[in-house]
Amino acid sequence: MKKLSVIAIIVFAITAFLSAQPNGMKGRMGMKQGMKNAHNFLLEKLKLTPEQKNKIAALKISFQSNMIDLRASLAKDKLALKELRIKSDFTRNDVLNEVEKMNKDRDAISVAFANHMLDIYALLTPEQQKIAKDAAFNNWGGMHKMCNNFHRRGMMN
């Protein structure tokens, strides 16, 4: 669990770099560009080998494919809940069952993301892992702000 927490911190360290980028947090497009800048900055610092880059690219494709399925399942469950609420004869149990399905989907997305980050982390050398950890802990305040922004804007749903 401790390793998972460190990975989560590392992930948010990448995004926390945005706070140092001009216009990095202005809207979703600015956030997207800021995340690219942070990502590129970290990649430069890590000095990944071509083999590491290829393995990470393969992991990313697999992860993205899995996310499509998981997000589609969540979207369908949200739609089912909306449909249920339109009915006049729904029960408390019906609504709670749909909410539980959505929570399971969200949990599956979170676990898939954590596993993806741990898979990438495992590809790094000990020196690269230290760089990633240092980047995470040096930007703790920015990471907290970024977490709140993700939740407030519904990006983690």
- For 24-81, the pLDDT digits (tens) are 445 555 656 766 676 677 778 888 999 999 999 999 999 999 999 999 999 999 999 9
| Percentage of the chain exceeding pLDDT 90 | 44
pLDDT at 81: 93
pLDDT at 85: 86
Average pLDDT over residues 111-136: 89
pLDDT at 23 over 80: no
pLDDT at 55: 94
* Total length of the chain: 157
pTM above 0.75, yes or no: no
Q: Which amino acid, residue 87?
A: K
Give 2-15 pLDDT, tens digit per residue: 565 555 556 555 54
Reported confidence tier of residue 95, pLDDT bands at 50, 70, 90: very high
User: What sign does the dihedral 45-146-73-76 (CA atoms) show?
Assistant: negative
pLDDT at 156 over 50: no
Query: Helix 140-152 vs helix 126-138: angle between axes, to the nearest 10 degrees?
Result: 70
Residue 53, Cβ neighbours under 10 Å: how many? 12
pLDDT at 29: 57
Residue 82, Cβ neighbours under 10 Å: how many? 10
